[in-house]
Chains A and B, each alone.
Chain A
Amino acid sequence: MNSVILATASRYLLTLILMFSVFMLLRGHNEPGGGFVGGLVAAAAFALYFIANGLDAARSILRVDPLRAAVLGLLLSFLSTVPSLVSGQPFMTALWIDTGIASIGKVGTPLLFDFGVYFLVLGITLTIIFALAEEECSL
């Protein structure tokens, strides 16, 4: 798509939407939001950038292969189950550490799991979007 307005705006929007996606991710524990929605919003940010600037530009601003991001997400979710296995609790028990810092509060395995979901959704969505965009078909 050749639109100067969209191309210019998308650069600023990318940062803004990515920040919003992290906000969505972090508020997800007690309020609507979470890893899945956050990941989708982040993927939407890159998808917008791709629509405005083309596939190559979007790939280069992402830096890594989206499939790698998905693998990272899987790894994080897997790691979130390890503490419960090691500490002898039932599998996938949520474990929390109180950091004592008022603005952070408690950090725990569900947060790690949510980060995993975030990267997994981001990676898989972008993989599929890029794969669909690569070749045109008369479908």
Chain B
Amino acid sequence: MNRIIILPVLVPFATALIMLLFPRRIAAHRLLGVLSTLLLSVVSAILLNSVLSGGILSLQAGGWAAPFGITMVVDTLSCIMLTMSSLIGLTTAIYSIGSVDEKQEHNFYHPLIQLLLMGINGAFLTGDIFNLYVWFEVMLISSFVLLVLEGKPEQFEGAIKYVTLNLLSSAIFLAAVGILYGMAGTLNMADLAMRLPLLEHRELLSVVAVLFLITFGIKAAVFPLFFWLPASYHTPHIAVSAIFAGLLTKVGVYAIIRFFTTIFTLESTPLIHQILLWVSAFTMATGVLGAVAQYDLRKLLSFHIISQIGYMIFAVAIQSPLAIAGGLLYIVHNIVAKTNLFYLSGIIRLISGSWNLRQIGGLYATYPLFGLLFLVPALALAGIPPLSGFWAKLTVIRAGLEAQEWLAVGVALLVSMLTLYSMIKIWNEAFLKDDPRGEDTGNRGQEYHALSSGKKIALIAPVVILGMLTILSGIWFEPLFVLADRASLELLDASIYSKAVTGGMP
């Protein structure tokens, strides 16, 4: 049974391999991409089911016992993240059929997406810090290539910043891994959670924690380290932007949650959690302020990614069970809504011919149903009830009030208003106002109308799927909350995790 744990990594790897063996069969690539992500969704559902009924699963590669071998662990958090990555992988695979042109597909677009998913899933599965580094690199190298796949000048410009900062973060990660190994003599997360509280020389513990915080802070794009994100995320093809926006930064957030609940607890490094609180407030504020100033759709949404990361970090900083559960709900809601908004902006660009909000308009008059599809994730992002974003935000803010962090809660509420403002801005500019180019702009929407109906369906279907999920998870919020609550209890009680992996012996 435990061998199924390896499948979220093996399935995309095998798919990429088959695609690379037949590099010219583009139609087969598309089909394989959808099939592989469907299979991934099934695997994550099975994993979720067995973790909920039977507790945490672990797998020791090659049969070498933890903490000496390579360990893969699936707890409730990993399950939630795997489900999200399969969902986004699936919708992106469908969306790509409609939006990605053949030249990129010949340049290994589909295999690269699979390898990216493999890296992301590996990062969610691993129970060992060094392997986390390895999976991060797998993920990064595929994202580097995806970023410059079209070969446009601005892509190279964005890639330089993205690559440099991410390599810097890898170097810091490696140094932190080295120091931690020197202190504790182990890199297995479960083993570390048991050993760190018993450590005699703890002077360097805060240093290591800060190094990890910087590493994952760069990946997650938190306040002083986010500059690479708005400089690069709007440059690649919109399908690539969407999967980056949905999953890449969230892997950084996942690592922060994993490290600063299970391994570095509130008692062992109180300073870090104070830093996290400030970082989260500034991240929320700077992200949304950056977004308010933007008129390019993709840049506007990129800045919103940063702002939303702030809420998740805020949850980690508070560390109560309610806060962590709220943070996880926020991640789930945000992955769905944010990716959906990126898909939608790609369709807006196809219909109207521009990314710039100043130059487009009148979409509601021509496509009223499309306008409704846009409103769902936009209002969810701003936190309007009864959509998923409202409950997630409510839980996080309630946890903040219980912890009496008035200032940060105030910032969170203000940021929420500004998010609503900037969603209304998109609505007003793109949908309501008259098209500034007048009636006779001949080739407007030509690109969209030139598409075959199959491609149009491939573009709209992911938007509908994710929109439905946003609505449904808002209405049936209860089961999701129970799931997140269970995950947060597992995270805060490291002994459950350790017992499942090493048998509880330090």
Contacts and interface: CB of A to CB of B under 8 A. Distances in A.
A51 B6 CA distance: 43
Contact of B63 (A71, A74, A81, A90): A90
B13 interface: yes
A89 B17 CA distance: 23
A85 B20 CA distance: 23
Contact of A89 (B6, B10, B20, B63): B63
B160 to A, nearest CB: 13
A91 interface: yes
Given A85-B3, A91-B3, A74 B17 contact: yes
B206 interface: no
Given A85-B3, A91-B3, A91-B6, A78 B60 contact: no
Contacts of B61: 90-92
Interface string B1-23: 01100100010011001001100
Contacts of B2: 90
A93 interface: yes
Interface in B51-70: 59-63, 70
A120 to B, nearest CB: 12
Classify chain B's interface size: 10 to 19
B62 A71 contact: no
Contacts of A78: 13-14, 17
Q: Is the interface of B mostly helix, strand, loop or mixed?
A: helix
A91 B62 CA distance: 5
Contacts of B14: 78
B505 to A, nearest CB: 20
A82 to B, nearest CB: 10
Classify chain A's interface size: 10 to 19
Nearest to B10: A81
Contacts of B21: 71, 75
Contact of A71 (B6, B17, B59): B17
A94 interface: yes
Contacts of A81: 10
Nearest to A72: B21
B13 A90 contact: no
Contacts of B3: 85, 90-91
Contacts of B13: 78
A90 B70 CA distance: 11
Interface in A65-114: 71, 74-75, 78, 81, 84-85, 89-94
Contacts of B60: 90
Given A78-B13, A78-B14, A93 B20 contact: no
A97 B223 CA distance: 56
Interface of B: 2-3, 6, 10, 13-14, 17, 20-21, 59-63, 70
14 contacts: A71-B17, A71-B21, A75-B21, A78-B14, A78-B17, A89-B63, A90-B2, A90-B3, A90-B62, A90-B63, A91-B3, A92-B62, A92-B70, A93-B63
